[in-house]
Amino acid sequence: MYVFAAISAHRQKSLTMPTPMQDAAPMLDFLKQDQDPLTGKVMRRVRSFVLREGRLTAGQQKALDSLWPRFGLERGAGLLDPQVVFGRDAPRVLEIGYGMGHSLVQMAGAEPDKDFIGIEVHRPGVGALLMATDEMGISNLRSYCDDAVDILELCIPDASLTRVQLYFPDPWHKKKHHKRRIVQSAWVQLVQRKLAPGGVLHMATDWENYALHMHEVMQTEKGWENLAGDKAFIERPEWRPETKFERRGARLGHGVWDLLYKKI
C-alpha cells in the first residue's frame, strides 16, 4: 500500500525535513502526523515528494505572515464549505503541486466564474502564490500547505470538484522509485470520488515514460472517458498556461504530454 502526497512542480532531490517546531504551524500539518508522540522526532514516511524548504525571501515570508489568514486553508477546519471560504458555491478547480504558483494565479484570474484551490508543500512557493494573488487582486483562489492526499480525504467533499489538475509532477524516473509516483490506482480512485459527474482530471508531464505510465493506470480504471478519443494524449487545453519551464524544454526538443479524462 502506497502513501501518496502532493508534489511540487519543481523537482526536489534531497530531503531536509524541518521539525514541527520550525514554524510548521499553521501549515504543513502533515508534519504533526509524522511526529513521534514520545520523542517529538519526525518519522519519515514514504511519500511522492521530498520536503526541502529552501530559502524564503523576505517577500515570501511577509506574505506567509500577513496573507495566510486571508488566503490560507487548514486541514483542521475539516470539510471545505464554499460559502464560508469563497462566499459562493461556484465550480471548483483543485491543483496539486503548483510550484511557485504562477500558472495557477493566471488561471484563477482568467476564469473568475470558478473558484480555485491549490495544494503545495513548499512554503517558498506558497508565499509566492500568496503575494501574486494579493498583488493581482484575485479573490477566487485559496491554498493549502499540506499533503494533498490528506486534504483530499479530509477536506474536499465528494463530488464537489469540476477539475483536478496535476502538472509536471516528479516523475521518479528510476524504476526502483516508480512506487513513489503520485499517479497510482488508489490516487486515481480518490480523485474520481472528489470529482462531480462530468468533472475532468487533467495531467501533464514532460517525461514520456511517466506519460505512458499515467495512460496505463487510467486505462485500467473504470468510470473514465479519455477526451483524446482514440489517441492517448491531447493538445494542451487553452486553460493551462504554457510555463517558462515548458518553453525552455521545448527549445531543447523536450516533449510535453497532456492527458484529459472525464468522470462518467
Q: Could you give the residue numbers annotated as active site?
A: 170
Contacts of 254 (CB under 8 A, 6+ apart): 206
**Cell triple for 238:** 487553452
Answer for the pair 10, 100: CB distance below 8 angstroms, yes or no.
Answer: yes
Q: Give the residue among 262, 244, 250, 213 at the shortest CA–CA distance from 106.
A: 244
Residue in the block written with cell 524504476: 175
Instruction: Provide the phi-psi class of 50: left if phi over 0, else alpha when psi is between -120 and 50, else beta.
Output: beta
CA distance 138 to 249: 29
* C-alpha 116, offset from chain centre: 11
130 phi, psi to nearest 5 deg: -65, -45
Beta strands in 134-234 (DSSP E): 141-144, 161-167, 195-205, 224-226
Instruction: Provide the phi-psi class of 161: left if phi over 0, else alpha when psi is between -120 and 50, else beta.
Output: beta
**Cα dihedral 60, 66, 71, 75 sign:** positive
